[in-house]
């Protein structure tokens, strides 16, 4: 009977032995690693995201104030631009009152966070955008250079020099000011040359007024004054005159 015939696939003459002693304990991963891998194209380290790169090309980026000579600690995760921008020069120098205000604002911001600048990156960026002078102050502080025009690096006081919640030793009391406020020196609290006595304004109530000194023999009776009490000699003479 002629009908369709099944055609069996031709098998190789020698089957590979995958269970030999040499291959025991190997896994598919090991076999894949042993195979030659295709060459990967070389990749260069990326310092900024594509979003930052596009904004930089359009001139709308925000330069990172943390990107100094040692780079930025946040690396590619930093949301601010790390491309070189050159030194931004101010068209005019702010007046002294404005410069002092910029310095005071930065110092307050740094002191509030004890120098942990990574926590206030956004706030520092906002301060740097105010004026190139502020960016110069920040760059000088971050690079660890000498203080620029009075910029003070915040240094926390030693723990032993911080007064506790309870009353401390009180030094000499100064003169009484308005509203009964005296200037007192709380100390000694200094543990080093950088920490001096702490001056505080403390309200000390004035002493109560002294009671008025009444004249001898005064008896409060509707404002009347009792006659003076005679002495012993005058009393004896009075008794003699009365015939007692």
- The contacts found for 205-214 with CB under 8 angstroms, 24 or more apart, are 205/180, 206/176, 206/180
Angle at 37 between CA 36 and CA 38, to 5 degrees: 125
Domain boundary assignment for the chain: 47-86, 96-142
CA distance 49 to 173: 62
pLDDT tens digits for 180-198?
444 444 444 444 444 444 4
pLDDT tens digits for 191-241?
444 444 444 445 566 677 776 676 666 665 555 555 555 555 555 554 545
Say which range, 44-53, 108-117, 126-135, has the weakest mean pLDDT: 44-53
For residue 53 the two structure tokens come to: 């790169």
């Amino acid at each position: 009977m002629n009908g369709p015939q099944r055609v069996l696939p031709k098998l190789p003459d020698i089957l590979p032995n995958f269970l030999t002693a040499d291959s025991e304990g190997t896994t598919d991963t090991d076999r894949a690693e042993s195979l030659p891998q295709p060459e990967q194209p070389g990749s260069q380290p990326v310092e900024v995201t594509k979003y930052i790169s596009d904004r930089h090309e359009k001139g709308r980026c925000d330069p990172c104030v943390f990107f100094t000579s040692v780079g930025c600690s946040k690396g590619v995760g930093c949301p601010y631009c790390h491309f070189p921008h050159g030194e931004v020069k101010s068209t005019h120098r702010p007046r002294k009152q404005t410069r002092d205000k910029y310095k005071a604002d930065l110092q307050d911001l740094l002191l509030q966070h004890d120098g942990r600048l990574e926590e206030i990156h956004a706030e520092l960026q906002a301060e740097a955008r105010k004026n190139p002078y502020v960016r110069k102050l920040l760059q000088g502080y971050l690079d660890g250079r000498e203080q620029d025009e009075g910029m003070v690096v915040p240094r926390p006081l030693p723990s032993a020099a911080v007064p506790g919640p309870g009353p401390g030793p009180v030094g000499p009391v100064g003169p009484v000011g308005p509203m009964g406020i005296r200037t007192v020196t709380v100390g000694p609290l200094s543990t080093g040359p950088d920490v001096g006595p702490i001056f505080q304004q403390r309200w000390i109530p004035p002493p109560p007024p002294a009671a008025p000194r009444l004249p001898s023999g005064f008896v409060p009776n509707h404002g009347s004054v009792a006659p003076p009490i005679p002495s012993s000699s005058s009393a004896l003479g009075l008794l003699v005159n009365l015939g007692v």
